[in-house]
Amino acid sequence: MKSRNTATPPAKGPRSPARVLHLLAALARNREGMTLADLTEHSRLPKSTVLSLLRALEGGGYVVKAQGSYTLGNEALKLGAAMVEGPRFPPSVRVALEQLAAATGESALLATLVTDEPLAVYVDVIESQATIRFTVPVGGRRPLYCTAVGLVLLAFQPQSYRDGYLRSLRPKRYTESTITDKARLEREIARIREDGVGVSLDLMIDGAGGVAAPVRNGSGAVIAVVAAGCPSARLIAKRDHLIACTRRCADEISALLGYSGA
Counting residues of the chain whose pLDDT is more than 70, the rounded percentage is 90
- Residue-wise pLDDT for 169-220, tens only, equals 999 999 999 999 999 999 999 999 999 999 999 999 999 999 999 999 988 9
Task: Determine the topology of domain 81-256 in CATH.
Answer: Beta-Lactamase (3.30.450)
Domains of the chain, residue spans: 4-72, 81-256
Q: What is the pLDDT of residue 10?
A: 43
CB 201 within 8 A of CB 236: yes
Q: What's the rounded mean pLDDT across residues 117-142? A: 92
Q: Is residue 4 pLDDT above 50, yes or no?
A: no
- Residue-wise pLDDT for 40-97, tens only, equals 998 889 999 999 999 999 998 889 998 889 988 878 876 766 555 444 688 899 999 9
Indicate the pLDDT class of residue 99, thresholds 50, 70 and 90.
very high
166: left (phi over 0), alpha (psi -120 to 50) or beta: alpha
Q: Three-state SS for 165? A: helix
Q: What's the gap between Cα 139 and its chain centre?
A: 5
Q: What is the mean pLDDT of the chain?
A: 88
Count CB atoms within 10 A of the CB of residue 120.
Answer: 27
Cα–Cα distance, 107 to 93 (Å, whole number)? 15
DSSP 174-201: -STT----HHHHHHHHHHHHHHS-EEEE
Rounded to 10°, the helix 74-84/15-29 angle is: 90
Cα–Cα distance, 28 to 72 (Å, whole number)? 7
Q: What is the pLDDT of residue 6?
A: 45
In this structure, whether the domain defined by 4-72 belongs to CATH 1.10.10.10 is answered with yes
User: Minimal CA–CA distance to 236: which of 205, 212, 203, 200?
Assistant: 200
Residues facing residue 225 across a β-bridge: 111, 214
Q: What is the pLDDT of residue 87?
A: 42
- Residue-wise pLDDT for 214-253, tens only, equals 999 988 999 999 999 999 999 999 999 999 999 999 999 9
Count CB atoms within 10 A of the CB of residue 208.
Answer: 21
CA-based angle 75:80:84, to the nearest 5?
A: 155
Q: Is residue 12 pLDDT above 60, yes or no?
A: no
What type of residue sits at position 133? R
Cα–Cα distance, 254 to 220 (Å, whole number)? 9
